[in-house]
Amino acid sequence: MRVLPIVSVLVACAFVAPAAAEDPPIESLLRAQVFNKVFEGFDFYRVTIESDIVKSDGTREVTAEASGKFDEHTRRLKALFQLDGRTVVSGQVLEEEGLPSCSSAAQHHASDL
């Protein structure tokens, strides 16, 4: 199953805080903390925020879809994230299709779960 390595990357990247002092847009935050690692080596990728719900405790629940192209192949990943301020605290892959990430980082983080 490919879900375990992807979730591992999401969890491993969850504790990386962005450098900007101001609150970045959610798309930029997810790129910096998650998707740049997942789509490493791809020619390009795009991120679309499908929903952004602020919970009563101040955390956010964000559903995002990212899709990218590598050579003639594509990859699409839809995930649900829990954010606390500017930090991704957890993530869950909802849908995935296409190529795995080109980096071996996903394999290294698989044991972190």
- Mean pLDDT by groups of 10 residues along the chain of 113 residues: 54 46 77 93 94 96 95 92 95 87 45 33
- Show me where the domains of the chain are located: 3-112
**Amino acid identity for residue 60 in this structure:** R
- Measured from the Cβ of residue 10, the count of other Cβ atoms closer than 10 Å reads 25
Model confidence, pTM = 0.66
Contacts for 27 with CB less than 8 Å, ≥ 6 apart = 47, 49, 64
Output the CA torsion sign for 40, 82, 79, 54.
negative
